[in-house]
């Protein structure tokens, strides 16, 4: 089962479907993504799509630069980011 969760990215609210029980993880992921997109926006990067793309790439790059013993956890994070990206794409397409 899934539930609707409201997230905020760059001041825009999105309603996204989330697997039941994963709401807090989704909110934390959205907060981290929002922090990264705010940093990019403040550095002069423009365009919502470009900012999201660059933030996603930066987050994946960060996760790939950790020690090998964290590989399993990093793979889970990357999978969640990929899922979050799909959810965000669906939300953007609905607006």
State which fold the 2-94 domain adopts: Double Stranded RNA Binding Domain (3.30.160)
Percent of the chain with pLDDT over 70: 87
Task: Write down the domain spans for the chain.
Answer: 2-94
Q: Is the dihedral of CA 68, 72, 77, 82 positive or negative?
A: positive
8, pLDDT greater than 60:
yes
Mean pLDDT of the residues in the chain:
83
CA distance 88 to 25: 15
Q: Which residue has the higher pLDDT, 67 or 60?
A: 60
- Cβ neighbours of 55 (radius 10 Å): 23
Task: Give pLDDT tens digits for 31-45.
Answer: 999 999 999 999 998
CA end-to-end span of the chain: 24
pLDDT at 67 over 60: no
Mean per-residue pLDDT, 62-86: 69
């Amino acid at each position: 089962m899934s539930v609707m969760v409201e997230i905020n990215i760059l001041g825009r609210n999105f309603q996204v479907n989330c697997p039941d029980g994963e709401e807090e993880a989704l909110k934390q992921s959205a907060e981290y993504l929002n922090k990264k997109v705010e940093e990019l926006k403040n550095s002069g990067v423009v365009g919502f799509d470009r900012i999201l793309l660059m933030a996603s790439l930066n987050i994946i790059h960060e996760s790939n630069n950790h020690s090998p013993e964290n590989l399993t956890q990093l793979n889970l994070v990357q999978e969640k980011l990929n899922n979050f990206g799909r959810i965000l794409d669906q939300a953007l397409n609905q607006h």
